[in-house]
């Protein structure tokens, strides 16, 4: 049977799983996606938004979530205050979070607010504290890493949106929408992620 490959624009406040058995259940992927046997590749936190890949291709999933296999993930991050050049350099070089130095990244200050749908609920606005947007590209994905990194350099994250995973991009989807990957997208993803012998 042919594998399924789906990208989804995960809204704020949705769990990256299909069931929630906790005492106070939250919204899950099942509210949006009704395809059996596909699972999210990695996670986006409950309070984060953006690109999520789902598949039933176990080999590809393994190479995308195993820390020994690096691939780029790009985020647009709204932070409190205006980051300094020094802070951006620290994010790029790697910062210490919980005794671990993050791997080198690419951190740039966006010149304008990105074109994104409003978040529901919106971030808390404080008139006396400006905000700015950073584009941050990592090759690893530890628990709440982006938030811990920006906090470590003094600029707490207010809003976090993943916009790319390897060659896959968020554009063309509205919040809560999903679509199947094209054959070309699948081919390019495997070329970027899988060893030659497994493509």
Enumerate the active-site residues.
45
Q: Do residues 79 and 156 touch, judged by C-beta distance below 8 A? A: yes
SS (H, E, C) the chain: CCCCEEEEEECCCECCCCCCCCCCCCECHHHCCCCCCCEECCCCCCCCEEEEEEECCHHHHHHHHCCCCCCCEEEEEEEECCCCHHHHHHHHHCCEECCEECCCCEEEECCCCCCCCCCCCCCCCCCCCCEEEEEEEECCCCCCHHHHHHHHCCCCEEEEEEEEECCEECCCCCCCCEEECCHHHHHHHHHHHCCHHHC
């Amino acid at each position: 049977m042919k594998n399924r490959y789906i990208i989804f624009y995960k809204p704020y406040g949705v769990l990256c799983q299909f069931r929630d058995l906790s005492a106070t259940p939250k919204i899950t992927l099942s509210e949006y996606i009704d395809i059996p046997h596909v699972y999210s590749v990695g996670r986006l936190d409950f309070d984060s938004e953006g690109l999520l890949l789902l598949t039933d291709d176990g080999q590809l999933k393994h190479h995308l979530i195993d820390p020994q296999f690096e691939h780029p993930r790009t985020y647009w991050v709204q932070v409190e205050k205006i980051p300094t050049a020094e802070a951006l350099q620290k994010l790029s070089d790697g910062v210490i979070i919980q005794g671990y130095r993050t791997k080198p990244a690419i951190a740039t200050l966006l010149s304008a607010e990105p074109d994104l749908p409003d978040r529901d609920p919106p971030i808390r606005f404080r008139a006396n504290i400006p905000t700015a947007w950073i584009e941050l590209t990592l090759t690893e994905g530890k628990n709440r890493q982006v938030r811990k990194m920006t906090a470590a350099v003094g600029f707490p994250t207010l809003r976090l949106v993943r916009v790319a995973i390897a060659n896959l991009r968020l554009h063309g989807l509205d919040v809560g929408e999903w679509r199947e990957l094209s054959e070309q997208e699948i081919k390019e993803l495997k070329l970027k992620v899988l060893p030659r012998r497994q493509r």
